[in-house]
Amino acid sequence: MTAGSDVAARLAGFVAALRAHGVRVGTAETVDAARAVEALGLADRALLREGLAATLLHTTGQRQLFDAVFDLYFPRAVGAPDGEPAGREELRDRLAAALAANDTAVLGRLAVEAVDALGGYGSSPGSGGWSSYQTLERLRPQTLLAQVRDDMRARGGGAGFAGRLLEEEIRRRIEEFRGQVAAEARRRVAERRGRDEIARRAVATTADRVDFLYAGKDRLAELRRTVQPLARKLATRLAARRRRAARGTIDLRRTLRGSLSTGGVPVRPVLRRRRPARPELVLLCDVSGSVAGFSDFTMLLVQALHDQFSKVRVFAFVNRIDEVTGLLTHGVADAEGLSGRIRAEARLTGWHGSSDYGVALGEFAERYGAAVGPRTTVFVLGDARTNMADPNLPALKRIAAQARRVYWLNPEPRAQWGTGDSAAPEYAGLVEMHECRTARQLGALVGRLLPV
Amino acid sequence: MFTSVDDVSARLAETGYLASPAVATTVFLAARLGKPLLVEGPAGVGKTELAKAVAEVAGARLVRLQCYEGVDEARALYEWNHAKQLLRISAGRGESWDETRDDIFSEEFLLPRPLLTAIRGEEPTVLLIDETDKADVEMEGLLLEVLSDFQVTVPELGTVTATRRPFVVLTSNAGRELSEALRRRCLFLHIGFPEEELERRIVRLKVPGLDETLATSVVRVVGALRAMDLRKLPSVAETIDWARTLLALGADTLDETVVRDTLGVLLKHQDDVLKAAAKLDLDAV
């Protein structure tokens, strides 16, 4: 076993792990990566990281995932740090000093020591592990904020205008330290359980593959930033579909009529011309807690696409329904507070706070029935969990009869449809229901289903 | 072209371009592997500057293709000089058809555009394809041949292959998703906002008159603005503009009024200005 083949094997494993997370890496790129390793050498880890990123990645969104996997396959160190594990108080003191000095190298070393000293659980080999959660719970770096701030103020770091930024800056450093601890814990676990398995399971995947239902706050914020690029991409796709559709099918009657002049041979086929009509779109969004993230994202996406349609109307409901189109248009700058604003300004709940699809659909059919016409495509967004109330199928049937098409996008996995209080199968019997768990699925569905 | 990554950083710094380790590594690899370099990132972080700096370091000629909507083969690759061809035809009255035909499709009547110029050049060349995302999808297909084999096919003349491979830099603001085929042929580099330390050095280099502590505060305020959820985040170009403004105003330190009055240099949307002012407590006093 030579050193060369060892590096090659390591690289191949690394590439396989990236592929498992949906990064498309071809063989040619892997060869390039190997040439990059040859040119850069293995001595400097930071250079190696940048070199591999340049050769293997193609878009910016993949970088976070890449860094996490890289830390596993090309770890900073092997095994436990040297020396006696330090106590909690000592670690906290050193951490405070490092945060005040903003010394990244020392912070990295502290993360290693902290996981070693505080993060281990279980004693028998094979069952134990290293937990970043436990480390951070015991170390509580966030409680150092005041101490570090006062320390820096005392030494004159907080003077002048920039002083008011101090707290925010320290908070960011602490956040960074938490990330380092998480990476270190992953590395230690990977040593014990096998790298490939941890790379597959413990590394957070790219934002567009995260389930809407389980996405955390920062993941949703990350998703919101992708709305505009995604909308642009979809608009291009819609335009292409529209171009193709405009060609139309063969008009048999006029083709035959034209063939009379050539003795009955249809030399020139006449195509049916399509009337250019920009379709209308109506969105019915469940904004109750469980699916709010999904609805928010979809509303923003459709709003970003609004110039593709002659009219877009958005309705939100929990157990009462109200129109929120106005809130979306002038709220472009503040996507973050969207759901809060909808809840504050629209009447969405009646006697209780849980979602009721039957009542909401019934109210929509009654009050806003005029919004749906033969050119309207309706999208219903929600998990179809009625909290045991009547699903009110006739109301949906009425909407479906009036509209051109009705689609239902459900953020739950298909396997859970119909379990518990879900009325998904009943609704799916009336309208087309699609599973839509991630931003990637949503993009694909929207590109395919939106009318042209 | 370069001996090591440090060599890249040092020589780029001599021309006034301070490169982060990521930038230096990728430039080094692009030169070593002979692959085009695709640079993405927000506006104003120095994507185009990088190409210019590399050209200066390498003592190479910079050939620039500015992409825009509707840029086509005739603007990017080559064009036949029709007027001259017509002149040639009318001048050569009495010639046989074969002579004329062969003659008017020769090098003399070819107008090389940036891509062909860069491929045919004998001297070292840096080819900058700027704002690739602005060009249409068809244009990308045209680039594929150039970028993978460094050759251009002119039907009447045959294939022109580069005798000396140019160093190619493509820039993109991600206005449109570039095709996978194009991306696969390039090394990918994302230039983000620089680290605090690097940005301070950039400001000190570009605005030499600025006082050290003021430069530090400037970079810290810009860093805080970037952490906010704004429509358009201030870029390095804006930081430098702001530093120049402060210098011109003769401000020694940052204070409430100075920041409030000059915030417009950093932020280009009124909503952003209001939001940032609120977050920085500008109106609190």
pLDDT in tens, A190-201: 877 777 777 777
Domain identity same for A19 and A108: no
Q: Which whole number is the average pLDDT over A384-392?
A: 85
Residue with tokens 């906002």: B193
Local confidence band at A388 (pLDDT 50, 70, 90 cut-offs): confident
Q: Is B283 on the interface with A (CB under 8 A)?
A: no
Same domain, yes or no, for A376 and A242? yes
Which among A372, A357, A377 is positioned nearest to A317, based on CA atoms?
A: A357
A60/B174 touch (CB, cutoff 8 Å), yes or no:
yes
In the predicted model, what is the mean pLDDT of residues B238-267?
A: 88
Total CB pairs under 8 A between chain A and B: 95
Compute CA distances A246 → A113, A240, A242, A451, whole Å.
Answer: 65, 10, 6, 13
Q: Is A82 helix (H, G, I), strand (E, B) or coil?
A: coil
Does residue A50 share a domain with residue A178? no
Q: Are A249 and A230 in contact (CB under 8 A)?
A: no
Taking residues A177-192, report their average pLDDT.
Answer: 84
Shortest CA distance from A63: residue in chain B: B190
Q: Which residues pair with B78 in a beta bridge?
A: B112
Residue of B nearest to A162 (CA): B217
Angle B191-B196-B198 from CA coordinates, rounded to 5°: 65
Select from A48, A73, A98 the last residue of a domain: A73
Give the pLDDT band of residue A49 (cuts 50, 70, 90): very high
> In this structure, are A199 and A237 located in the same domain?
no
Of the candidate ranges A150-154, A321-325, B124-128, B139-143, the one whose mean pLDDT is the lowest: A150-154
| The pair of three-digit structure tokens given for residue A414, joined into one six-digit string | 């298909």
Find tokens 């170009």 and name the residue: B237
B63: helix, strand or coil:
strand
**Considering only CB atoms, which chain B residues are within 8 Å of A236?**
176
**Residue range A110-130, pLDDT digits in tens:** 888 888 888 877 765 556 678
Domain count, chain A: 3
The pLDDT assigned to A158 comes to 58
Does residue A87 have a pLDDT over 70? Answer: yes
CA distances, B35 to each of A420, B27, B46, B123, B126 (Å): 56, 10, 20, 18, 12
Q: List Cα–Cα distances, A187 to A21, A22, A141, in angstroms.
A: 18, 21, 21
Residue A315 has pLDDT above 80, yes or no: yes
- Sorting pLDDT into bands at 50, 70 and 90, what band is A246? low
What's the CATH number of domain B5-72+114-190, 1.20.140.10, 3.30.1370.100, 3.20.20.70, 3.40.50.300?
A: 3.40.50.300
Facing residue for A57 by CB, picked from B188, B231, B280: B188
Mean pLDDT of chain B: 88
CATH number of A317's domain: 3.40.50.410
Whether residue A192 sits in one domain with residue A114 = yes
Is A295 in the same domain as A433? Answer: yes
Q: Residue B128 corresponds to which tokens in the numbers above?
A: 């900058």
A95 and A18, same structural domain? Answer: no
- For residues A68 and A96, state if they share a domain: no
**pLDDT tens digits for range A159-175:** 667 677 788 888 888 88
Selecting from A221, A232, A336 the residue whose C-beta is nearest the C-beta of B176 gives A232
CB-count exposure of residue A420 (10 Å: 0-12, 13-18, 19+): exposed
Average pLDDT over residues B123-128: 93
Domain boundary residue among A73, A102, A121? A73
> Does A257 map to a domain?
no
pLDDT for the residue B284: 44
A11 with A156, same domain: the answer is: no
Domain containing A364 equals 225-246+277-449
Buried b (16+ CB within 10 A) or exposed e, B23-35: bbbbbbbbbbbeb
> What ranges do the domains of chain B cover?
5-72+114-190, 78-112, 196-277
Whether residues A180 and A238 fall in one domain: no
Q: How far is CA A213 from the centre of its chain?
A: 10
Cβ–Cβ below 8 Å for B217 and A26 = no
Cα distance between residue B26 and residue B50, in whole Å: 12
Q: Which residue has the tokens 């060599």?
A: B7
pLDDT per residue as tens digits for the range A391-404: 888 999 999 999 98
In a domain, A50, yes or no: yes
- Domain closes at, from A20, A45, A73: A73
The answer for B 69-98 residues in CB contact with A (under 8 A) is none
Q: What are phi and psi of A87, to 5 degrees?
A: -80, 170
Helix/strand number for chain B, H first, E second: 14, 9
> In whole angstroms, how far apart are CA A77 and each of A20, A40, A71?
25, 19, 10
Backbone angles phi, psi at A81, to 5 degrees: -65, 155
Within a domain: residue A79?
Answer: no
Pairing mode, if any, of strands A129-130 and A120-121? antiparallel
Within this chain, do residues A162 and A297 fall inside the same structural domain, yes or no?
Answer: no
Tokens of A252: 């048999």
Q: Could B220 and A165 be called an inter-chain contact, meaning their C-beta atoms sit closer than 8 Å?
A: yes
* Closest to A295 measured CA to CA, from A79, A442, A109: A442
Tell me which residue of A448, A333, A442 sits closest to B272, measured CA to CA: A333
